[in-house]
Amino acid sequence: MTLEVGVLGYRFMGKAHANALARLPMFFPDAPDIERSVLVGRDEAALSDAADQLGFEEISTDWREVVDEVDAFYNLGPNHVHPEPSIAALEAGTAVFCEKPLAPTLEGAESMAEAARDADVPAGCAFNYRFVPAIQYANELIEAGELGEIRHVRGRYLQDWLVDPDAPWSWRNDEEMAGSGALGDLGAHTVDLLQFLVGDITRLSGHLRTFVDERPVEGSDETRPVTVDDAYSAQAEFEGGVMGTLEATRYATGHKNDHTIEIEGSAGSLRFSLERLNELEVCLEGNRGYETVLVTDEDDPYLEHWWPPGHVLGWEHTFVHENYEFLSAVEAGGEYEPSFEDGLSAQRVLAAIQDSDERGEWVDLE
Amino acid sequence: MTLEVGVLGYRFMGKAHANALARLPMFFPDAPDIERSVLVGRDEAALSDAADQLGFEEISTDWREVVDEVDAFYNLGPNHVHPEPSIAALEAGTAVFCEKPLAPTLEGAESMAEAARDADVPAGCAFNYRFVPAIQYANELIEAGELGEIRHVRGRYLQDWLVDPDAPWSWRNDEEMAGSGALGDLGAHTVDLLQFLVGDITRLSGHLRTFVDERPVEGSDETRPVTVDDAYSAQAEFEGGVMGTLEATRYATGHKNDHTIEIEGSAGSLRFSLERLNELEVCLEGNRGYETVLVTDEDDPYLEHWWPPGHVLGWEHTFVHENYEFLSAVEAGGEYEPSFEDGLSAQRVLAAIQDSDERGEWVDLE
Amino acid sequence: MTLEVGVLGYRFMGKAHANALARLPMFFPDAPDIERSVLVGRDEAALSDAADQLGFEEISTDWREVVDEVDAFYNLGPNHVHPEPSIAALEAGTAVFCEKPLAPTLEGAESMAEAARDADVPAGCAFNYRFVPAIQYANELIEAGELGEIRHVRGRYLQDWLVDPDAPWSWRNDEEMAGSGALGDLGAHTVDLLQFLVGDITRLSGHLRTFVDERPVEGSDETRPVTVDDAYSAQAEFEGGVMGTLEATRYATGHKNDHTIEIEGSAGSLRFSLERLNELEVCLEGNRGYETVLVTDEDDPYLEHWWPPGHVLGWEHTFVHENYEFLSAVEAGGEYEPSFEDGLSAQRVLAAIQDSDERGEWVDLE
Amino acid sequence: MTLEVGVLGYRFMGKAHANALARLPMFFPDAPDIERSVLVGRDEAALSDAADQLGFEEISTDWREVVDEVDAFYNLGPNHVHPEPSIAALEAGTAVFCEKPLAPTLEGAESMAEAARDADVPAGCAFNYRFVPAIQYANELIEAGELGEIRHVRGRYLQDWLVDPDAPWSWRNDEEMAGSGALGDLGAHTVDLLQFLVGDITRLSGHLRTFVDERPVEGSDETRPVTVDDAYSAQAEFEGGVMGTLEATRYATGHKNDHTIEIEGSAGSLRFSLERLNELEVCLEGNRGYETVLVTDEDDPYLEHWWPPGHVLGWEHTFVHENYEFLSAVEAGGEYEPSFEDGLSAQRVLAAIQDSDERGEWVDLE
């Protein structure tokens, strides 16, 4: 059996997933057979070029025609395009893989999660950073109790692409299309990773900031308003009493894609940075300080599929891993995590941060 | 003229300041002449031994007899001993150098600052980390505008000496004596450094946590309650719209004395860690990433007094620098910063964090 | 026109190059069209499985039948298999891409270079580390004179896979098959990189060492002798008076694939480590220390083909880049560097190191 | 009993040792009582100022009058002044502490060691880097067998103060006065440290280089020839078959005082850099990578004398430690290491490197 995959979106995320699909046969021979069937978009000419380059057999400008024709529907469009096609696909019994954040609004995410609950197929939210081998390894250490009782967790996601006030406006600056700014784009990753590793957030206090109110539209004299946050921070309590701080910004001069996770427990600690994603720093029983582990050994997560120890992987490999897991679940008719439920859980946290910012006080998540 | 110095406290801080006093003549020949005159404490035998070792001429078990007999009174006792002797000394026209936090309570700090305002002598708060050469260098860069408009500031102070729930109780765990826990002990340093570098905090949301409720008393079967915080976090707004996050804990496995400062501006960024205090990481105009500057060149702050480039300084040198500045101000009858006013400003922030934690909402600092 | 590629070798290097060939269309659309035509090996069953997985259309157990049937012949076998098929292919007018070191002996390398000189097609030596973006960027800085007059160069290649004296014997431990040990396997990379960046070595003093004399044969009770070096070191003079030290070992506990290059000039310095291959450390005019540059910006070498800034590449991307360059040269009928001539130049250095080690004295390279 | 100390030399090393002497009572109360008795030099006015600042009671412009008047004679002058006064002191039964390298020539060092053998008092060579706590800790790990069989050792000492060809001439550029350049000044430290940690060097191949042949004399129009090496490198075999590489230079742009030691054994590895002298990187049994140990715990070497964990020491503390050990040995009439014998052993290696460089071949050390 060959799984037919339809993909909405052909830019950054489209390329990242198409590449992952293309690489599975050589590196994950036990993955299901896949056909890159249909690429979906609006601009027919651009779409056609993209389909050629990304190896899709057909194109479509109407997702409605695609969602029930394929075995798996990938929703990689801007956030505001997430709910409707995803729900339609699920209602048609088609497995769905949707980029994060799940939706621009909490309501959107709730509808999507509800559709997923009613469907009999996997509905995955593409939090790819769970699939960094070093993160999987971190999770193994935590689940084995190597950190003891966790006390502190910190997540920072620092980028610098909006430092320049004249950097052009994009859909990522628009509340309608993106839902939120750094919060949804970067914070969603942090929230999911921390909840994956440590447990659910139960209470929080959040803060949002927009530094530059309007930005020039590329190729025109106009400016458009920035209606989302440029940065957020949050203090949080997690299940089991863990104390957490979270932060993200698009204004961190000198940081390109610096997603940092730090976890401290009674018996051990961990540190991770996405810019050195092959490494995990661990301070476990018997250690006096942090040890830099190059997570590229044969028995490290996913590594037997790739290269010998010390031959490092890149960012894109996380997509191969998540596609492998998602498509295997589709083929087997099994569960996939992170699911829409996980996406909704993250979305609740994002919404609580916005809510807390407006109210100026702590907010409970039930 | 020789300045006579009386010092209350002969343990950790007593040794750190006595060492600084002893080293001034060889390295700062233009510092005033100093006599380590009187060491003040309660336990006569221990005091006498300490005076021998630390080079004091006399001892006294009553600070009342000392505060008007010396040119400078150093108050290095536990926090609850800060206000009364400091105020008495100032009222006697004696310059005062007091350890941080200024007082266990905001009221105490206010009385002290008031006494300082009425006095004609320097009243310094011993925030020694301002006197790390790398921090002075950071301040020079900021004042020269090299960072542009500052957007983000982060301060974390991570220690691990209470990770073990059986680590013994000390006065630092007691609200009466310490006022607060990690907040006052570690957070006071962070607050002062960030306000020194970036400007005053105007609003904040704070959070406190006690992980272990009681601790064993050393050499007995008893336990005593921990009545202060083990950790705090805060979100803050600074003058000029800078967004800040602060945090400290005594439960960060693997971190001994890790006071980290990060500042990001529209034109440049800085990073500093106390465990590598000879280094400042800078990302300025023309840089593509952070540059690790070893701040040990002859024209770096205070360095001409010490060794050739690359011959690194230690933690204790910060005390030499602050004593040099404080005693020079005493001799000259001039101003000293950080003053009691700066100590009070930090204390207001600490109090606002406690207040915010109790109320669960943001708090303004006028 | 589609280039037909025949590949001898289907293990580690076979997979690395097959993957590179497979990825070109999506990321380098201007690369020539390629067909993975024939996979060559001895064990028909294993070969057939490999061809399936690596996407080859046919298999052959006789390279003689392949070398004149394809447009490009990839020689990825053990070192002793490099000369004969490569020369045959070149004589048949087929472009050749050969893994490093070019040959197990200097004589072999000389014959291969001679065949390349006589041929009208590109003959490339697969020194893939030239194609790390950070190395290309380093080369640009050097060529622009940013380092001034180069004084020092250092190359170390540290691995640890033979630390255990019971690690099994392989062809890499055999002089007949490999020519040399760490010297040819790791040192060849270092020599080529340093000669690429700094210029040719003119004199050297070399040293070889074998720590463990025999090793167990996997799946048997026998041992076989280790007839190659486990480690080498060298002192060298380069063109222009640069002073260099080189070293490699398979016994460096804690180092998986740590190829480090350091270059110091009168105006600037560089550092690189393969385990953090997305980074280049630079200390240039205006810098006070080393700056960690994440070489992932759009205008960094090859990066516009991949992902946005900060989305790091892996080890395997170096193969995509070198295949892109090599196959473009094949299509265009142009030159490719590193060529067999470069491979021979590196081989001369390797031979001089062995020669110097035997004679215990410095050796000139004309 | 109070030990009277006479010190020849009042510049960099004079200050470093005077400071150490001054700090002993407060931090090492069990050290012998010491009097800084006489400071020896040639320029009476400068000497008198220095004696004031460094706390000496008397001055003398003739070391002959001092060597038999004191309990310990410190020889901190330029290298060519080491032999004669040191030998005279030893012949007078006065303990001697001499800066490194022991002498400008092997012959000088041999006479000094002979005088030390004949004397009944400690004769120490001031290789202060043995007394970095992290180095002492490294030595403990090695002696406890934690590294297994040592295979590789590397020592690099990189400075940059002569990068500029117009940096002024000093006695350190003169063969008569210094004996050698980077070799004796920096290499002596490396040789001693490696021999201390790993064992004696038995064979070596060395290489010297002078990049700039003459330098301007400060405050004049003249230049003077540079008659020593600017840089050296060496390959070495140590007792027990350890393979070593050594290097030093004064032309390493971006490195101020970067003395790096790396040791790899069958069971573990170590790394150290003087610019981060509070840290030791260790990869021991159970580690997957290097662990950064902050060597500042109470039970780390010498640390109980100083500050709590994480409160880092500086370069100068190594002098306090060595003075404590040396003077304790003087008082007890015991042995001190590193002794003149160790200084001679290092000197033999330096001479062998020069000899090997001249002959272009390996040289044995008996």
pLDDT at D179: 86
B129-138 pLDDT tens trace: 999 999 999 9
**Chain C nearest C-alpha distance from D253 (Å):** 6
Q: Nearest chain A Cα to C298, which residue? A: A256
- Cα distances from D176 to residues C223, D105, D191, D212, D228, in angstroms, run 57, 9, 22, 18, 9
Using CB atoms, list chains with 3+ pairs below 8 Å to chain A.
B, C, D
pLDDT at C233: 98
pLDDT at D301: 98
Q: Is there a cis peptide before residue D101, judged by omega within 30 degrees of 0?
A: yes
Q: Which chain D residues are closer than 8 Å to A280 by Cβ?
A: none
Q: Which of D27, D308, D314 sits opposite B312 (nearest CB)?
A: D314
A234-252 pLDDT tens trace: 999 999 999 999 999 999 9
Q: Which chain A residues are closer than 8 Å to D293 by Cβ?
A: 288-289
For residue B55, with 0-12 CB atoms within 10 Å meaning exposed, 13-18 middle and 19 or more buried, which class applies? Answer: middle
Q: Using CA atoms, how far apart are residues B101 and C168, in angstroms rounded to an integer?
A: 63
Q: Between vectors from CA C212 to CA C206 and to CA C213, what angle results, nearest 5°?
A: 95
The residue type of D172 is R
pLDDT band at B260 (very low <50, low <70, confident <90, very high): very high
Q: Do A55 and C317 touch (CB under 8 A)?
A: no
Q: Which of D275, D296, D312 sits opposite B277 (nearest CB)?
A: D312
Query: Over B4-71, what HEC string results?
Result: EEEEECCCHHHHHHHHHHHHHHHHCCCCCEEEEEEEECCCHHHHHHHHHHHCCCEEECCHHHHCCCCC
Q: Do D253 and C231 touch (CB under 8 A)?
A: no
Q: Using CA atoms, how far apart are residues A151 and A131, in angstroms rounded to an integer?
A: 24
pLDDT at C365: 96
**Which D positions 142-161 lie with beta carbon below 8 A of chain C?**
151-152, 154, 156, 158
D306-321 pLDDT tens trace: 999 999 999 999 999 9
Chain centroid to Cα B163, Å, comes to 23
Secondary structure E strands in D144-200: 150-158
Query: Tokens 């007691």 label which residue?
Result: B174
pLDDT at B1: 79
First to last CA, chain A: 43
- Cα distances from D217 to residues A152, C9, C209, C246, in angstroms, run 59, 64, 46, 36
State mean pLDDT over C136-145.
98
A161-208 pLDDT tens trace: 999 999 999 988 999 888 899 999 999 999 999 999 999 999 999 999
A252-273 pLDDT tens trace: 999 999 999 999 999 999 999 9
How many residues are recorded in chain A? 366
Q: Using CA atoms, how far apart are residues B81 and B86, in angstroms rounded to an integer?
A: 9
DSSP string of A201-237?
EEEEEEEEE-S-SEEEPTTSS-EEE--S-SEEEEEEE
Q: Using CA atoms, how far apart are residues C150 and D252, in angstroms rounded to an integer?
A: 10
Percent of chain B clearing pLDDT 70 (strictly above)? 100
Relative orientation angle of helices B44-54 and D12-27, to the nearest 10 degrees: 170
Structure tokens at D263: 């040791």
Query: Tokens 């427990």 label which residue?
Result: A265
DSSP type of residue C336: -
Using CB atoms, list chains with 3+ pairs below 8 Å to chain D.
A, B, C
First to last CA, chain B: 43
Nearest to A126 by CA among A61, A199, A206, A72: A72
Q: Using CA atoms, how far apart are residues B361 and A188, in angstroms rounded to an integer?
A: 24
Q: Which of D25, D294, D313 sits opposite B314 (nearest CB)?
A: D313
Query: Tokens 């294993």 label which residue?
Result: C46
Residue C171 touches partner A, C-beta closer than 8 Å:
no
Q: Using CA atoms, how far apart are residues A108 and D116, in angstroms rounded to an integer?
A: 86
Structure tokens at C92: 């048949």
pLDDT band at B145 (very low <50, low <70, confident <90, very high): very high
A294-305 pLDDT tens trace: 999 999 999 999
pLDDT at D366: 72
Q: Using CA atoms, how far apart are residues D56 and D42, in angstroms rounded to an integer?
A: 16
Whether A366 has a pLDDT exceeding 80, the answer reads no
Q: Which of C154, C249, C361 sits opposite D152 (nearest CB)?
A: C249
Percent of chain C clearing pLDDT 90 (strictly above)? 97
pLDDT at C316: 98
pLDDT at A1: 79
pLDDT at D304: 97
Name the residue with higher pLDDT: D356 or C176: D356
Q: Which chain D residues are closer than 8 Å to B22 by Cβ?
A: 22-23, 26
- Cα distances from B324 to residues B3, B202, B302, B319, C58, in angstroms, run 12, 32, 10, 8, 81
Whether C293 has a pLDDT exceeding 90, the answer reads yes
pLDDT at C366: 72
Q: Using CA atoms, how far apart are residues D169 and D275, in angstroms rounded to an integer?
A: 26
Percent of chain B clearing pLDDT 90 (strictly above)? 97
Q: Do A307 and C12 touch (CB under 8 A)?
A: yes
DSSP type of residue A144: T
pLDDT band at B178 (very low <50, low <70, confident <90, very high): confident
C213-242 pLDDT tens trace: 999 999 899 999 999 999 999 999 999 999
Task: Specify which residues D38 forms β-bridges with.
Answer: D6, D58
Q: Using CA atoms, how far apart are residues B18 and B35, in angstroms rounded to an integer?
A: 10
pLDDT at C119: 97
Domains in chain B and their CATH numbers? 2-128 (3.40.50.720), 130-311+339-364 (3.30.360.10)
* Torsion sign over Cα B179, B185, B189, B191: negative
Cβ pair A48, C20 in contact under 8 A: no
State mean pLDDT over A125-130.
98
**Chain D nearest C-alpha distance from A115 (Å):** 45
Cβ pair A343, A113 in contact under 8 A: yes
**Which D positions 270-309 lie with beta carbon below 8 A of chain A?**
279, 283, 286-294, 297
Q: Do C292 and B297 touch (CB under 8 A)?
A: no
B5-47 pLDDT tens trace: 999 999 999 999 999 999 999 999 999 999 999 999 999 999 9
pLDDT at B179: 86
The residue type of B349 is V
How many residues are recorded in chain B? 366
DSSP type of residue C164: S
pLDDT at C177: 85
Q: Using CA atoms, how far apart are residues A288 and B62, in angstroms rounded to an integer?
A: 43
A171-181 pLDDT tens trace: 889 998 888 99
pLDDT at D229: 96
Q: Nearest chain A Cα to C158, which residue? A: A310
Chain centroid to Cα D356, Å, comes to 23
Whether B197 has a pLDDT exceeding 80, the answer reads yes
Q: Do A288 and D291 touch (CB under 8 A)?
A: yes
Q: Which chain A residues are closer than 8 Å to B276 by Cβ?
A: none
C334-345 pLDDT tens trace: 999 999 999 999
3-state helix, strand, coil in chain D (%, to 5): 40, 25, 35
C2-44 pLDDT tens trace: 999 999 999 999 999 999 999 999 999 999 999 999 999 999 9
Cβ pair B349, B191 in contact under 8 A: yes
Residues of chain D with pLDDT under 70: none
Whether B366 has a pLDDT exceeding 90, the answer reads no
pLDDT band at C265 (very low <50, low <70, confident <90, very high): very high
